Each structure stands twice: as structure tokens, then as C-alpha cells.
Amino acid sequence: MSTVATPSRIQDILHQWTITDEHSGVSTGTEWGKGTGERLTSRSPVDGAVIGVVRGASRAEYDQAVAKAQEAFSVWRTWPAPKRGEVVRQIAEELRAHKADLGKLVSYEMGKSYQEGLGEVQEMIDICDFAVGLSRQLHGLTMHSERPDHRMYEQWHPIGLVGIITAFNFPVAVWSWNTALAWVAGDVCLWKPSEKTPFCSLACQRIVAAVFARNGVPEGVSTIINGGREVGEWMANDTRIPLVSATGSTRMGKAVGAAVGQRLGRSLLELGGNNAIIISDKADLDIALRAALFGAVGTAGQRCTTTRRLIIHQDVYAAFRQKLTKAYGQLRIGDPLNEKNHVGPLIDTQAVDLYTKALEAAKAQGGSVLVEGGVLSGEGYESGCYVKPAIVEARPDMPIVQDETFAPILYLLTYAGDITAAIAIQNGVKQGLSSSLMTMDLREMERFLGAAGSDCGIANVNIGTSGAEIGGAFGGEKETGGGRESGSDAWKAYMRRQTNTINYGSQLPLAQGIKFDL
């Protein structure tokens, strides 16, 4: 049974969290500021309707929010980590209760399919569950001292205020990847959401604030500061914020990294991707087809892990091309809240313009269009944000292939010989986020995963480039930024390491045998 949401239904969803058509976008918890800064109009790419207006923060309101967060940190860091974990556990339960509504809001405000909206909320639940267990495992090492009657160990302490800058394509999940870990670590979080999806941030703050209020969590542990680019610049240059986690374009990440680095702060950058699937002549082509199709058109090509390049062995190129073009012919494009559709809209008409220009550039640079793209119009496409997923036969050295276009454009490339040639093509771009190899050959797999193989932060075999699991660290190399979020030991980014040495003896041996006549 399909589910279709109308603007009035979205307003009903917002009403349960007392989010009005014009709402303050500055909050330190249950308290909401006036929001006297920039007016942010949220317009759904689904149908072009205005969801509402959010008032961003002025500089004075930003400073007040940071001061409140500093006060909250002085208390929150003293809570035992398992107690902080219990609060995060309750957040997961609230997210389960609101999964359908929050998923629908994500879908309507951002434009991804309802199934993907639900999946994004599930990611929030999963990272909370991960963080709950982590709250009892924030452990350091013990080391043997070279000095008699001494003990050495290390421990981890909260780092303080964590600034979080997120992008429109995952308007809630990426925030939760950071906050769930930071909160159990004892940090407080200041969130600057994308100005394109402000109502998703308001809903998240309402859900979290209710849990925090029940548990006596101080105001300021969770803070949202909506606004434009200037809010991100305030965070990046603010010495009161020791860590800034930023997700978005490489251009944005370079600016944030430079500003934070100049003041010797820490930055966690998760930026662009130009991800490739290598399809070997030893691949299962049916598995490869499913991986390539979802990787290329999921979220209308607006994931940082979207598959943008297929590097196909020349011996299976013709057969795979035929399978792929047939599959593209079966894609249904339309309202993402209708579960029968596969592809929703791009985020806005600016993204549509970039999509159109990229296709024009691909043709001008010698690419051959295999599946024609284009902007859709007419009934159901009134927002002007719906486009056709396109396929272009191209060369690796084409400038447009080297860049990331945040849209459903897939480039087909070929290689000959062994897997080494394909790996060289895959690695021959500036980005290094996600990669995948389709093969049934063990030797090819090991070469791809070895030190001379994929240079990406994520390297998969017989699955696509998207769909990372919570348990693994997420992020990439080169112009992807080098940051890691989510699972594994990514929690260490949100804490500071301290080495401790205890002398329990009656003497104080000094280094290099130095002695004082005392």
C-alpha cells in the first residue's frame, strides 16, 4: 500500500511538536530564542509548497547559545557515562515512536523516497543503540612503566563543545552520528543544520528536548542554531568550540578546515565523493546491476556515497550495458512519498541547473549519452526539481568525470587487462570516500582491498558504494576530508586523551639518572 503525504499532513506532523509555520530556529533545549536573524523559507522539492519559515540566529543569540552550552558542559561532563548512555537509550525509544512521522518529514522536506526517509531515522536509532553500549566502554590502555613502583595508564575525557554542520541530503542522520557519540562522551553539541532543511532540525530538537527534560539534563547539552553560511563561519572561528564536525562539499570543508586549523582546533570533515564500482569480467552481473542501479539513482544521486562511475571490463561491457539501460527504462520518477516511485526530486532548482550543465559539459567533452536525461515538467512535476537519471559513456580523463555532480548522472568507463588497471582509474580522482569491486575472484578481491588497492575510506566487495553500516567508521581520504564518524573507534574524535603516571613508591627516580643533593 502506497503512502502519499500532502502539505496539510506535514503540518499535522509539525503540529504535534508545536512547530509553527514561522518558527524560531534557535534553541538550547526546551527554551527557544526569538530568532531575530535571517528568515529561512523551507520549500518542499516534492511539490514546491512552502512548509514554513524559520528565523535564524543573530550573532548575539549565537553567543548566548554558546554561553548556555558552556554552562551545560560544566554539569554534563560530571554525569557518569552509563547514565548519559541511559538518556541516549531513551532518545532511541522516542525515535522509534516517531519513526513514521519523522521519516515522512525528511522525505517531504528533502525529497528522498519515504523508504529512505524511514531508513535515515533507523540510522539514528542504530547509532543511539551503538552509543548506549559504548557508554560503558570508553576505556583507555594500561602500560608498564620503566620506573619502579610506578603505574601508567591513559584515560579519555570529554572534549567540550562540539559544533556540528550538516548537509541537506541527510538532514537528521549525520547529526545523530555525531551527537549520540558526543553525548555519551560527555560533550555538548551545537548544531547548524542545512538552511534547506530547517524543519527537520526543529523536529529533532523537540524529540530530544522532551527526553532531556524528563531526565533533568541541563539546557544547552543539545543546541540548534539555524541560519545561513555565517553561522558555520562563527562556529569555525570560535575558540570556545574545540571540535567542529562538518559534512558537505569539499569547498565548504576546506574553508572550515582552514579556519579551525588556524586556531589549532580540531575538525572532523566528511566531504564529497566521486565513487566508483569496478565490474570485473569475473563478476556476477546480476548482483552488479542491483548495486549499480541503487547506488546511482538512490536519493536522486544526492548521497556522498552515490555511485558516479562504473569501471567495466571490456569483455562484459556490452552485456552489462544492455542490462543497465533496460533497468533504467523501468525507473519510476515522481512524488517520493508514493512508495511506488523509485526516484524523487533534486533538492531545488539550483541543483537542477547544475545537473543540466553537467550533462552539457559531458557532451561537449566527448561523452556519448546512453540514457538521455532532462528536466521533467507537467502534472506531478510542478516544483521543477524532477530530472531523469542519465547514463553517459565517457573517458576517465574528462574533467566532468573528475568532478562530483550531486545529481543522478552515471558515467560508464571501460578497462582491459587485470584489476590493476581498473584500480588505477578508480583512484585517479581527487575524492576518496567509497569504492566497490564486483568479482567472484579471490585474488582480485585481495588486490583491491590491499595496500596497493582502493585508496578510499570505504572499500566493498560485491555490494555497492552506498549503504554503510553503523558499526564501521564512516569517512574517506584525500578531498573527502579524512574524518571518521559513526562506529568503530570514531568516538575518540569527541574526547581528549590523557596519559597518567602514578608513583606509589617512596623514591622519585629522575630521567637520565639526574640527581640533586637535597
Model pLDDT for residues 316-365, shown as the tens digit of each residue: 999 999 999 999 999 999 999 999 999 999 999 999 999 999 999 999 99
* pLDDT band, very low/low/confident/very high, at 5 (cuts 50, 70, 90): low
Section 270-295 average pLDDT: 98
Q: Which helix (H) or strand (E) holds 414?
A: strand 409-415
- Rounded to whole angstroms, how far apart are CA atoms 267 and 158? 16
- Rounded to whole angstroms, how far apart are CA atoms 316 and 471? 34
**CB neighbours of residue 512 within 10 Å:** 4
For residue 243, which amino acid is it?
L
Section 434-451 average pLDDT: 98
The cell numbers describing 309, all together, are 562511475
Section 235-264 average pLDDT: 97
What is the pLDDT at residue 257?
98
C-alpha angle 109/100/122, rounded to 5°?
90
Using a 10 angstrom Cβ sphere, with 0-12 exposed, 13-18 middle and 19 or more buried, the burial of residue 13 is: buried
pLDDT tops 50 at residue 516: yes
* 3-state class (DSSP) for residue 324: helix
pLDDT digits (tens, 9 = 90+) for 65-114: 999 999 999 999 999 999 999 999 999 999 999 999 999 999 999 999 99
Grid cell 552509543 is found at: 131
Phi and psi for 30 in degrees, rounded to 5? -80, -20
Q: How many residues does the chain have?
A: 518
Strands (DSSP E) found in 184-281? 188-192, 222-225, 243-247, 266-270, 275-279
Phi and psi for 359 in degrees, rounded to 5? -65, -40
- Rounded to whole angstroms, how far apart are CA atoms 35 and 419? 56
Section 188-214 average pLDDT: 98
What is the pLDDT at residue 34?
85
For residue 480, which amino acid is it?
T
- The single residue of 38, 94, 195, 270 carrying the catalytic annotation is 270
Query: How far out from the chain centre does Cα 203 lie?
Result: 18
pLDDT-above-90 percentage for the chain: 94
- Rounded to whole angstroms, how far apart are CA atoms 381 and 194? 24
Instruction: Find the Cα–Cα–Cα–Cα dihedral 349, 354, 356, 361, rounded to 10°.
Output: 170
Could you give the angle at which helices 419-427 and 442-449 cross, rounded to 10 degrees?
30
The cell numbers describing 285, all together, are 552481473
pLDDT tops 50 at residue 187: yes
pLDDT tops 50 at residue 197: yes
* Nearest one of 408, 322, 405 to 370, comparing CA atoms: 322
Contact criterion met (CB below 8 Å) for 339 and 114? yes
The cell numbers describing 366, all together, are 566527448
Alpha-carbon distance values, 150 to 147, 432, 499, 503, 511 (Å): 6, 44, 13, 5, 13
Section 303-324 average pLDDT: 98
**CB neighbours of residue 177 within 10 Å:** 27
Alpha-carbon distance values, 394 to 272, 316, 323, 379, 422 (Å): 21, 16, 18, 33, 15
pLDDT tops 90 at residue 33: no
Q: Which helix (H) or strand (E) holds 155?
A: strand 150-158
Most distant CA pair in the chain, distance: 93
* Nearest one of 198, 151, 149, 144 to 175, comparing CA atoms: 198
304 is catalytic: yes
* pLDDT band, very low/low/confident/very high, at 2 (cuts 50, 70, 90): very low
* 3-state class (DSSP) for residue 47: coil
The cell numbers describing 435, all together, are 569504492
pLDDT tops 80 at residue 432: yes
- The single residue of 128, 189, 200, 304 carrying the catalytic annotation is 304
* pLDDT band, very low/low/confident/very high, at 285 (cuts 50, 70, 90): very high
pLDDT tops 90 at residue 63: yes
Grid cell 534557535 is found at: 26
What is the pLDDT at residue 1?
34
What is the pLDDT at residue 4?
54
385 is catalytic: no
**What does the mean pLDDT of the chain come to?**
96
In sequence order, the 6+-apart residues with CB closer than 8 A to the CB of 386 are 333, 334, 344, 345, 346, 375, 376, 380
Burial pattern 199-215, b for ≥16 Cβ within 10 A else e, equals bbbbbbbbbbbbbbeee
